[in-house]
Structure 1
Amino acid sequence: MRFVRGDRAVTLLALIASGLLWGITVPLTKVALAGVGPAWLTVARFGLAAVPLALVAGRRGLRGALTWKIVLWGVLGYGLVVVLQGQGIARTSVSHASLIIGATPVLGALLVVLLGRGRVGALSWAGFALALAGIGVVAANGAGGATLAGDLLVLVTVLLTAAFLLAQQTVLAGRSPVAVTAVQFGAAALASAPVAAVTDGSPVRAPGTGPLLAVLALTVFGTLAPYTLFAFGQARVAPEIAGIFLNLEPVVGFALGAVAFGDHVGPAQVFGALAVLGGIALNTLPYLGRRTPPAPPARRDDLPEPEREPALV
């Protein structure tokens, strides 16, 4: 596939839109949790989003994606992560949660290095240290409804997400990203249902207009749309270039937390935000500094079906 100027503009717009939309997930979750428990919110969010993806993928695509590893990573990477993230967001502020989640690209790259699957230079190591220091400052200066317990829960979900994204490189190989995502969304919803029945109680109670609208917006604009747009862009550029646009999420979430929710913003919060974003920026500079863009990876639909299950980390 030739990467012409028009293709580049559309691809960049898709990646930018996905990053901006992911930035509204924490604020929307905060509103939805006022009427829906964290686990039931996970069931609704991924269950509803799985339906249109399954229709697009078709029976053949879904059959190729129905393996135990794909299902397991859907339960862990989507279900468990979002349930724990909901618990964390309920105990902390929108700004804190957004900033901590924004360190996902940095921690993902650090995990790659620790597992010996890649190398980074001194600039990237400085970025790791700066971003992690920023997370520590933000977590240690809880205010405006923020707590250390909530921040730590969100941090756990970031670590799980980093491991999940690394595993997805092998899970997606040779398969339709839409089909894999549909199966994983469905698995996350089904696995979260019994947890919701135990921890959140009955889902019958009316959540109220505001929380209900937040659930619907989170499903469409915080789940279905950004994942689809990101998959579109990721299929046309190298993974590390696509990952740069995830860094838009903490900027949007932090701004909305301060403006819409009245989250406290003091010197410590500003320093932590700048440290996290500065650390992410240091890790993206080596890629942005390339004179020519890397060749886009082969389209998943053009790859042959694998003969056996790919090995995961």
Structure 2
Amino acid sequence: MRNLRSGPLSALIVSGVLWGITVPLTKVALDGLGPMWLTVVRFGIAALPLLVMAGRTELRKAWRPEILAWGAVGYGAVIVLQSVGIGRTSVAHASLIVGLIPVLGAIAAVVLGRGGAGRTGWIGFGVAFLGIALVAGAGGGGATLSGDLLVFVSAALSAAFLMVQPGLLAGRRPLAVTAVQFTAAALAAVPVACLTEGAPAVPAAQGPLLALAGLIIAGTLIPYWLFAYAQAWVAPDLAGAFLNIEPVIGFGIGVVLFGDPFGPLQMAGGLAVIAGLVLTTLPQGGAVPPPPEPGAVPEPRPEPVLVGQATAGV
């Protein structure tokens, strides 16, 4: 029984950690590929197993102009902007800004009348943005304002994607929708990559090549399935709370492995962002439901859609 209860929570923790390494992996991978070709390769390869598993019937349902368009924007444009920004800023800065996606999504939901936020939620919004301002103002570690702004714009696009995605998923299998959107992201980036970066080259160094493989497998496919499994048994608000792990991991890696500055301002800003994220995603009565009987197959909640890291990570 204990293992059945701990399984979904363990999956959430691991998925959060894996999505947390996507910004550092992107920073390394950019030494071998430009941001355009990195987007093409990442989503093109990640789409292949999803296309195979989705099935022709479900893929035909998902192969719609609006789904393709939002795949090109919500995955393709988002990751291109994010990658360009990561190349111009520090890992620590980018990780914290990407971590704002749930906050931006919550604000958009309130503005559009699709959700509500109590006093605690609004305090969380303010604290998180104050933290970003502190970290961005401190600078250092190769961080630039232009890089931070590009990552922020990509996060804002991801939040917009969050708002429209439920409508795109309605009546369709999420796996098929994600497969089509990954494909659209890769295809849309190809002509732009050819025009701006020329012909792609296989990364000569081992580090960027391994980072690219890590982005595809550990930063996209594995956390996607772990999060999908967990969402079958865990309340959505509790699952969302575990996304707060992502910026913590990325910020820590930036400081420890990339030598990003960690003075009083960075510490205060980082803690403020994390505290703000926690305040905006506090579980509202979410708890792990009774565990399934051995061998039981649950009626899953909607499969997650990877954004910005998804879920990352993408």
C-alpha separation in 2, matches of 1:151 and 1:246: 21
Question: Aligned AA for 1:204?
Answer: A
Decide which of 209, 225, 230 is 1:228's aligned counterpart: 225
Summarize deviations over 1:200-257 as a string: whole Å, max 9, x none. 2220354422111111111111111112222332344343322111111101001111
- Aligned to 2:282, what secondary structure does the other structure show? helix
Q: Is the 8 A contact 1:93 1:257 kept in 2?
A: yes
Q: Is the 8 A contact 2:235 2:287 kept in 1?
A: no
Moved more, 263-272 or 89-98: 263-272
Q: Is the 8 A contact 2:238 2:283 kept in 1?
A: no
Normalised by the size of structure 1, how large is the TM-score?
0.89
Quote the residue 1:160 is aligned against: 157
Summarize deviations over 1:253-312 as a string: whole Å, max 9, x none. 01111111111111111111011001011122352xx275689x96469xxxxxxxxxxx
Quote the residue 1:133 is aligned against: 130
CA positional deviation for 1:166: 2.0
Map 1:7-18 onto structure 2 (within 5 A): 7-18=4-15
Q: Is the 8 A contact 1:108 1:165 kept in 2?
A: yes
C-alpha separation in 1, matches of 2:100 and 2:39: 22
**Cα distance, 1:192–1:265 mapped onto 2, change above 3 Å:** same
Decide which of 169, 174, 190 is 1:172's aligned counterpart: 169
Question: Aligned AA for 2:181?
Answer: Q
**Cα distance, 1:233–1:172 mapped onto 2, change above 3 Å:** farther
Summarize deviations over 1:125-173 as a string: whole Å, max 9, x none. 1001000111111112210100010001001111111111222222222
Runs of 4+ in 1 over 6 A off after TM superposition: none
The answer for unaligned runs of 5 or more in structure 2 is 291-297, 303-314
Normalised by the size of structure 2, how large is the TM-score?
0.88
Quote the residue 2:275 is aligned against: 278
Quote the residue 1:21 is aligned against: 18
Q: Is the 8 A contact 1:36 1:207 kept in 2?
A: no
Task: Output the aligned Cα RMSD.
Answer: 2.1
Quote the residue 1:60 is aligned against: 57
C-alpha separation in 2, matches of 1:212 and 1:60: 35
CA positional deviation for 1:76: 0.7
Quote the residue 2:307 is aligned against: none
Summarize deviations over 1:24-79 as a string: whole Å, max 9, x none. 00000000001100010000000000001111111122112111121111111100
C-alpha separation in 1, matches of 2:47 and 2:31: 24
C-alpha separation in 1, matches of 2:279 and 2:205: 44
State the aligned residue count: 296
C-alpha separation in 2, matches of 1:298 and 1:173: 16
Q: Is the 8 A contact 1:176 1:300 kept in 2?
A: no
Moved more, 202-211 or 48-57: 202-211
Quote the residue 1:310 is aligned against: none
Quote the residue 1:103 is aligned against: 100
- Aligned to 1:285, what secondary structure does the other structure show? coil
Q: Is the 8 A contact 1:15 1:245 kept in 2?
A: yes
State the identity %: 58
